[in-house]
Amino acid sequence: MTSVAEIEAEGGEALAIKADSADPQALQRAVTETVCRFGHLDILVNNAVILLRGTVDAFSLADFDRMYAVDVRAVFAAVQAAVGHMGAGGRIITLGSVTADRSGFPGASAYSMTKAVVAALTRGLARDLGSRGITVNTVQPGPTETDMNMDENIRALLRPMPALGRLGKDSEIASLIAYLASPEASFVIGAALTIDGGYFS
């Protein structure tokens, strides 16, 4: 992860804020603090996610509520907090998952549901905000080397699934996010862009 010091060493400005994504008030404070520091807000990337697995007969409602709070409600709350500070050219990008379209393994039903909701929310927000020149999109990665799947046994299971025969890299996902945040993506809106190495091929 790039640190504030590294960004500042390159001549940029950065601010790190610790906030609980499941707490709407914390998200509001983070947005307010950011705007106070920089004067405006151009880009919102919703990247917080938790993945809890379990078949429907074993998955507790407490875990359901916890995952929904971070993976869905936090997205809505963050957008709600941010849009008042965004003008034309604003960008909202949310990390989804290919599981929005297809659950690749048992025990992923609740997680898949949250990602399908994110995709539907993205389409609706695009209609709400497009007339203001704000684009809203979601990026749907396939199996990727992240802290969520550190277990090598799980990685070995996932690795052969994409057509490319490997897991994605976080830098590859970040490149697509950077494109959506750029002026070149000004006509991309309401899209769920899959980046999965051929997971669905």
Catalytically active residues are 111
The structure tokens listed for 183 are 């002026």
The span from the CA of 49 to the CA of 30, in Å, is: 17
Task: Report which of 148, 196, 159 is spatially closest to residue 176, judged by C-alpha positions.
Answer: 196
Residue type, 19: A
Cβ proximity of 153 and 109 under 8 Å: no
The span from the CA of 88 to the CA of 86, in Å, is: 7
Instruction: Count CB-CB contacts under 10 A for residue 189.
Output: 21
The span from the CA of 200 to the CA of 130, in Å, is: 30
Residue type, 174: A
The span from the CA of 47 to the CA of 129, in Å, is: 20
Phi-psi region of 192 (alpha: psi -120 to 50; beta: other; left: phi over 0): beta
